Every structure is written in C-alpha cells, then in structure tokens.
Amino acid sequence: MSASHHNAASHDNHEEHHVVPVSVYLGVFFALIALTWVTAWISTIDLGPLNIYVALSIAIFKASLVVLFFMHVKYGTRLTKLIVGCGLFWLILLLFIVMMDIWTRSWMGVPGR
C-alpha cells in the first residue's frame, strides 16, 4: 500500500470538522456581554424571592451559549452531546440530593430540645 493511498483511506474514517464563521463567535460574544449587562441591571431591581430565579436563568442561558458554541458541542458528535448530557444529569442529581438533605433536616427533632 502506497503512502498516498494510506492517507486517503485514513481520512475516510474521520469526520470533517465544522468551521464556524467568525460572525457566529462575535454574535455569541456580544450576546454574552449584553446578558452580563442585563444581569447587573436586574440586580438593582427588587423582585423579592424571584431575584435568584431570574439571575440563575440568565446564568444558565449564558453557560449554555458558552458550551454550545465556544466548546463546539453544537457541532460535535453524538458521543460529545451524550457526555455533556450525562454531566448535566449528574450535576442535577447531585444538586437534588443536596436539596433533599436541606429540605428534610427539620423532619427529625434536634436531640436535647
């Protein structure tokens, strides 16, 4: 097998990389900047107990933009998306376990009271 034939055959087994235009990166960058300003502005408004939910919603949206575009998950393979999904599932599971601990602490009396 010649070297040129070997190189051509090895390229057939690999997927092509997706080239993302610079305009997409700039759009995501400016969206992140705008959302940072929105977060700062919203923090000056008293929404009562909704403040944390609004701030976390904006933060989750910003994190999603970073993961999808700057970490190339949007254009990645199914395996990449599966790994990211499993990581998110694990994070949600751990947060749920922590919240269960916090929610159920008052169910049992404190010894000595």
Report the share of the chain in percent with pLDDT over 70: 84
Q: Do 43 and 92 have their domain in common? A: no
State if pTM tops 0.75.
no
Give percent above pLDDT 90 in the chain. 69
Domain coverage including residue 102: 77-113
Distance CA 41, CA 35 (A): 10
Cα distance between residue 43 and residue 10, in whole Å: 54
Mean pLDDT, residues 7-22: 66
Residues 26, 56, single domain; the answer is yes
Name the residue with tokens 């998950």.
73
Domain count, the chain: 2
Q: Are residue 67 and residue 83 in the same domain, yes or no?
A: no
Q: How confident is the model at residue 43 (pLDDT cuts 50, 70, 90)?
A: very high
Residues 17, 44 within the same domain: yes
For the stretch 49-92, pLDDT in tens is 999 999 999 999 999 999 999 999 999 999 999 999 999 999 99
Q: Note whether 26 and 52 are same-domain residues.
A: yes
Q: Is the domain of 11 the same as that of 45?
A: yes
User: What average pLDDT does the segment 25-35 reach?
Assistant: 97
| Phi/psi-derived region of residue 72, left when phi > 0, alpha when psi is between -120 and 50, beta in every other case | left
